[in-house]
Structure 1
Amino acid sequence: MIPADAYLRNPLPLPPIVLVHGDEPWHQQQVRDALWRQAQERRLSERISIEVGADSDWDAIAQQTQSGSLFSAGQYFQLDLPKGTPGKDGAAFFRQWAQQPPADAVLAIFSGRLDGRQLKSAWVQAIEQAGLVIQAREVPPMQLPNWCIQQAQAHGLTLTPDAAALLAERVEGNLLAAAQALEILALRYGEGATIDVPEVRDNVVDEAHYQLFALGDALLFGEVGQALHTLQRLRQTGTDATLIVWLLAREIRLYYQLALGRSAQALKIWRTQQARYQAAAQRLDPARWAAALAQLGEIDQMNKGIRSGDPWIALDGIVNTICGETL
């Protein structure tokens, strides 16, 4: 097993099966992108995404991955395993692939963090023997300033130690937030610039702002676990529930209008996001989106003390609704 940052610095040859586990989203996404680039270099030009749930049919998944392609030289299967536990049938499928992988195909499995017991399981051991296991772990707080300095160098920036310490403090361990902040600094000051405390102080907002954007993304993708985790972090950081109500209202209104048949372009949704919003809008019918919006109004009244109830508990419920989960 190798850490994600080690793999990103020096990618190993792409094996027939890869497991990426961990709960650090920036590392997960960077490894996901790097593996796909390697697959394309191998001329595995057809990428097929599979999301596994509790009721997934592993026989159907096995048939799908073994059927080959009539339209490309090879296939790259990207399998998302949110809970990290494939069950008996899934474990057998992974062991079979590790022992006898199909020709011209690669299986990349992405899961949340696996504990010590899970890492010792037969299916993980089989993957490690036949392929690669990558751990997308968080950067320890003491190492985060140095990580920021290294990432700044990749953007052509020189980040002073004091600036790195301030940036690490503001993002509170969120690598995605740190990476986005460095992109902003690079765009604003240009390659070759030296970034000190004033530049970070003036351009990098605190963690709560990033968490709001992260919540919106999780809702868009229907990632209920990530959305609820982000909501909890916002509560812990003292974020006013009014901001969250505003964000949810904006998103629900967009989904409602799309469900009614309005075009994403007319709603001024970014072109790169239009397909994702259209897919999200199909989780509920227009009547249920309208009901969710009315429920959000009740939550706003709870937050203002006009109505009885805990707004944070109610926000958990509406997040489940937006993600298409039935309570």
Structure 2
Amino acid sequence: MKVHQNKLSDVLNKGISKVYIIFGNESLQIQELVDQICETAHKHSYEMKETHLISKTTDWSFLTSKGENFDIFSSKKIIEVRLIESGPGREGARALQEYLKLNHDNEILIVTAEGLDTKSKSSVWSKSLEKVGIFVNISPLSLNNLPSWIISKGKENKIDIQQDAAILLAERTEGNLNATFQEIKKLSLLMHNQRIDIKKMGQAISNSTKYNIFDLSNSFISKNRKKSISILESLKVEGTQESLILWAFSRELSNLFKVKQNGSSAELWGPKDYLRMLER
């Protein structure tokens, strides 16, 4: 049964299902729904939980072997299967479908999938789970809707974030949901039960988000103009010497010239991600 993400709590209040499938692109949003399910399951005496992060070498016997040794007196358990950017593969798809045929009265299966493509979402294994369980496909949170989300999360964490302050935080974190939530948690600790206007938000962000000269270099070579300007402004406020900024730019221009001349970054030193950005 398909359920909207905002209606899951209503469905959980009506009773517990044996299978839940959650698809989404943000780990934070997925985890919030998993927490809701687990909280309800605990009320129904499901005390134990095991989590399996799926890879190409995963042994799926943790699913198929349980039904063969069913014990009416065994502990109630939650099994979470995490898929990240890829489906379960042939073996996993077969194991999930076999699982549904066995007796699992003392178990709840939660399958979460982060960043899965459209083809995987409409696959046989996915449809099989959806047919017997609760399916939630989380809608992406747009940048326009992020301030409302920030205000809502602020209330949950006992802080009253004003609209203009929420917009400022959304702009500063550039829509990164995890980074935004971390800032809300920090604000909750520093300003618990307080009203946060744009001035307080600006001060809090300024104190917690410090850029260094290497952040400027990375944003420059990754062609992120907006972020480069933001970092430059931050470095200026912090009193960074102009000579140091000029050194960073001249260094990156020199490295870019060497890469273009040699056709690779083989003669340069630095982290792999940095060298890859130079070669693009």
TM-score, normalized by the shorter chain, greater than 0.5: yes
| Separation in 1, partners of 2:114, 2:124 | 18
State the SS of the aligned residue for 1:311. Answer: coil
Partner residue, 2:190: 188
- Alpha-carbon distance, 1:312 to partner: 4.5
* Higher RCO (Cα < 8 Å, 6 or more apart): 2
| Separation in 2, partners of 1:75, 1:136 | 25
Residues 270-289 of structure 1 aligned to structure 2 (within 5 Å)? none
Q: Does 1:308 align with 2:258?
A: no
The gaps in structure 2 that reach 5 residues or longer are 212-217, 232-250, 256-265
Partner residue, 1:122: 124
- Alpha-carbon distance, 1:166 to partner: 0.5
* Distance change >3 Å, CA 9–CA 166, structure 1 → 2: farther
TM-score scaled by structure 1? 0.60
State the SS of the aligned residue for 2:145. Answer: helix
- Alpha-carbon distance, 1:61 to partner: 3.9
TM-score scaled by structure 2? 0.69
- Alpha-carbon distance, 1:2 to partner: 3.6
Between 7-16 and 90-99, the greater mean CA deviation after superposition:
7-16
Q: Would you say the 8 A contact 1:171–1:206 is kept in 2?
A: no
Residues 83-232 of structure 1 aligned to structure 2 (within 5 Å)? 83-191=85-193, 193-204=194-205
| CA RMSD after TM alignment | 3.7
| Separation in 2, partners of 1:201, 1:21 | 35
State the SS of the aligned residue for 1:44. Answer: coil
* Identical aligned residues as a percent: 19
Residue identity in the other structure for 1:202: Q
* Distance change >3 Å, CA 161–CA 60, structure 1 → 2: closer
- Alpha-carbon distance, 1:28 to partner: 2.0
Matched positions, count: 234
Q: Deviations over 1:79-107 (max 9, x none)?
A: 22224311222212222333545111111
Partner residue, 2:8: 7
Residue identity in the other structure for 1:56: T
- Alpha-carbon distance, 1:147 to partner: 1.2
- Alpha-carbon distance, 1:206 to partner: 9.8
| Separation in 1, partners of 2:275, 2:36 | 34
| Separation in 1, partners of 2:210, 2:49 | 33
Between 73-82 and 138-147, the greater mean CA deviation after superposition:
73-82
| Separation in 2, partners of 1:10, 1:310 | 55
Residue identity in the other structure for 1:194: R
Q: Would you say the 8 A contact 2:64–2:98 is kept in 1?
A: no
| Separation in 2, partners of 1:120, 1:145 | 32
Q: Would you say the 8 A contact 1:5–1:27 is kept in 2?
A: no
* Distance change >3 Å, CA 150–CA 59, structure 1 → 2: closer
Q: Would you say the 8 A contact 1:185–1:203 is kept in 2?
A: yes
Q: Would you say the 8 A contact 2:154–2:161 is kept in 1?
A: yes
* Distance change >3 Å, CA 68–CA 50, structure 1 → 2: farther
| Separation in 1, partners of 2:275, 2:111 | 29
Q: Does 1:33 align with 2:47?
A: no
Residue identity in the other structure for 2:48: E
* Distance change >3 Å, CA 205–CA 85, structure 1 → 2: farther
| Separation in 2, partners of 1:144, 1:84 | 27
